[in-house]
Amino acid sequence: MPLYLACDTIILQDRKVGGKVDNLFKDLESMGISGVENINLFVDESKKEKSKVVKKTIKTNDIVYERSVSCPVCNKSFKTTSIRSGRIRFVDTELDLRPVYSGFDPIPYDVVVCNHCGYAGLNKYFQRVSEFKAKKIKAKISANYKGKVYPKVLSYEEAIERYKLALFNSVVGNDTNGTKAYLCLKISWLYRGWKLQLKEEESEDKDLFKALMVQELTFVRNAFEGFLIAYENETFPIMSIDQGSMEYLIAELARRQGKFDESKKWLSRVIQRQSTNKRLHNKIFEVKELINKEVTT
């Protein structure tokens, strides 16, 4: 079965971590979250009518700290891990804009989870929750949520679980397609981070590595589909990404799926922009080079 049925009915089923075949949100069932199957991740309003449509503890402990947060959904307080940003050094961004820091990956810590009610969201937007969304979360998540306390230092597996809970909150709360696509992009970055960690540890668990590759690509595809819909229907910036950068990002996500013609189409759009900065130009050049290599070999 294909991973993609349609832009607005994305059902993914080839997760094989631990030998199981799961859907996107299967991991959340252990927390008491139900109704995780057959989730429509993205909603294309314009089409609706027609289609009805191993931790580095010593160093990490210097960087992370716990702070108290008040939950805007249930009003209870809980502790969450934050990053002392002054202690980490930014190195560069990868071609899909994943930021790389020297010796530490802060991405796992960017989602906040309330262990009382199951509300989860990106740190930056956590306090901004509409009444509508809070109501939906209470009914569809909190009602069954068993609660889970995470350690101060997160593994990639734990971080991915938290991000998926945030993504599920976004689905339940009808967040924009751009928001959901952005969460998918960050989840793909987490799978890559996990893979890089395995490499660093010289792990020989080939099955896990393969499963992580599949998952990374699955979330790349989701991010790509969601951003395509968001590009046509939402106002820029989308999750702080301006229009030119989004065109570039869509091109790179297409390339990662082997959709080279589509990638080139989006690259030519962004090249035509006068405002493209040098850093983005360099990345465009790199993506073009990679495509040329793929096509000629």
Footprint on this chain of Zn ion (rule: CB under 5 A): 71, 73-74, 114, 116-117, 119
In this complex, which beta carbon is closest to Zn ion, that of residue 6 or of residue 74? 74
Question: Minimal distance in Å, beta carbon 75 to Zn ion?
Answer: 7
* Strand residue runs (E) in 71-107: 77-83, 90-93, 99-101
What is the full DSSP assignment across 229-252?
HHHHHSPSSBTTB-HHHHHHHHHH
Our CA angle for 280, 229, 96, nearest 5°, is 30
In this complex, which beta carbon is closest to Zn ion, that of residue 44 or of residue 161? 161
In this complex, which beta carbon is closest to Zn ion, that of residue 148 or of residue 269? 148
Question: Minimal distance in Å, beta carbon 137 to Zn ion?
Answer: 8
Pairing of strands 90-93, 77-83: unpaired
The three-state secondary structure class of 276 is coil
Distance CA(242)–CA(74), nearest Å, equals 34
In this complex, which beta carbon is closest to Zn ion, that of residue 114 or of residue 184? 114
Question: Minimal distance in Å, beta carbon 120 to Zn ion?
Answer: 9
Distance CA(228)–CA(47), nearest Å, equals 13
DSSP 8-state class, residue 155: P
User: Are the C-beta atoms of residues 73 and 131 closer than 8 Å to each other?
Assistant: no
Question: Minimal distance in Å, beta carbon 250 to Zn ion?
Answer: 34
- The residues, any chain, with a CB within 8 Å of residue 177's CB and separated by 6 or more, are 42, 43, 44, 226, 227, 229, 230, 233, 234
In this complex, which beta carbon is closest to Zn ion, that of residue 79 or of residue 84? 79
Question: Minimal distance in Å, beta carbon 179 to Zn ion?
Answer: 19
In this complex, which beta carbon is closest to Zn ion, that of residue 15 or of residue 116? 116
In this complex, which beta carbon is closest to Zn ion, that of residue 165 or of residue 167? 165
Q: From 190, 275, 191, 179, select the one nearest 227 (Cα to Cα).
A: 179
DSSP 8-state class, residue 79: E
Question: Minimal distance in Å, beta carbon 71 to Zn ion?
Answer: 3
In this complex, which beta carbon is closest to Zn ion, that of residue 121 or of residue 193? 121
Question: Minimal distance in Å, beta carbon 239 to Zn ion?
Answer: 23
Distance CA(85)–CA(111), nearest Å, equals 15
User: Are the C-beta atoms of residues 248 and 267 closer than 8 Å to each other?
Assistant: yes
Q: From 153, 169, 79, 161, select the one nearest 116 (Cα to Cα).
A: 79
Question: Minimal distance in Å, beta carbon 151 to Zn ion?
Answer: 19
